[in-house]
Structure 1
C-alpha cells in the first residue's frame, strides 16, 4: 500500500481553476462563459490556439481570468507546441489532495494553484490516419503526449478534479454547475473520470493498431535521408 492513502474527501468541489487545452474547440463558446457565470473569480489556464479562442470568447472579461500556461509555469512552449503542459506546477496542481498537508505545503512552496477541472481532447490521430496519402510521419506527429497525461492525472484524482474530454459533456456540466452553486459533485467527477480513461484507452488502441499495420519498409520510406 502506498504512503498517500486518502480517507477524507469533499463531495462538492467549487471550480476555481480550470486548465483548458483542446484540439476540438467546438462548444467552448458555451462552456467558458458558463464557467465565468458560475464563478466570476474563476482562473483559466490555457495554451496556444485554445488560449486565443478563449480570449476571443471572453473579450474584456479575459482580463485577470485567463493566463497562458507558459506564463504560469515560466517555461515557454517548445517549437511547434511539442511541450506545453508537461510541467511540475501543472501536475502538482492536478494531483494534489485537499487534506494532504505535504501536498498543500508543496503548493505553497511553489506558489502553485490546485486545478479543479481539466478540459482536454487529443490530437486528431484517428482522423489523420484516415486521410488519403497519409505517411507514418504525419501519423507520428499526431500522437498526443501532454493531452493524455493531463487527462489521466485529472481522472486519477477524481476525488477532487473533473476531467472533461468530450464537448458533448459540456451541457450537462453547465447544468450541474448551475444546480450546485458552481460546484461539481463526487458523482459528477467519477462519471467524467470513467469517460476520460475510456477516451485515452481508445486513443492508445488506435495508435497501436495503426503501428501494427506498418511494415519496416514503409517506415523507412518516410525518412529517405536516414535509416
Structure 2
C-alpha cells in the first residue's frame, strides 16, 4: 500500500510526487521459482493481478531467504542485492557445475551486483537472512544503490525516481528543493520519519538536498529512464 507522505506533526504533505510506503503494509508473495518469499515495495509499472513476474521496468522488494538454493532468473535485468539482516550468504554464479564467481554478503549493508539472467545458487552462512533487491530492465533504465547514514553531510537526490529505504534504525529525512528558477528561492519539501523497512518514494527528484537525522541508515536508490 502506498500512502500519501506526511510531515512529523501528521499533516498531509502537499509536495507532489512524494509517497511514504510503510514496511508493515508490504504483502508477502512466493518467489518466481517458488523457493522463497518476497515483499514488493514498489515497481514501475505497478504490477497488476495476473501479470507475469518479469513484467516491470524496475522493481524494488525485500526477500526472506530461509534455505540454500537457486535464485529466480530474469533475462535482461540488472540486479542489486543488499544484505539487511542475518549472518549473510554466499551467491555462487554458476556455469554448469563450475562456480565462476562468488558474491559474498557477510555484513549488513554489503552489496552484490549481477546479471539477473545468471544462474545463482545461494549458500546461507548461518541461518535465515533478509535482503533488499533492486531489479532494473537494462534496455529501459539504469539504477544505482548507495548506503547513506544518518548524521552525514547532506546528500543530493536526482533522478526520474528516487527511493530512500530505511535499512536499519529510525531516520528523519528532510528534503529541500533547490533553486526554483526566476525567484531564486528554495522550497522546503518537508521532514518524514522512517522506521526500519519504510520507504520514501520521490518521483521526478530534481536536485533535492537530503539530510538524515537519527540512528539509522538508508539505501538511496536513483533510477533514470533511458527510453
TM-score, scaled to structure 2: 0.29
Tell me which structure has the larger Cα radius of gyration. 1
Q: Which has the higher contact order (CA 8 A, sep 6+)?
A: 1
Q: Which has the higher helix share?
A: 1
Q: Which has the higher strand share?
A: 2
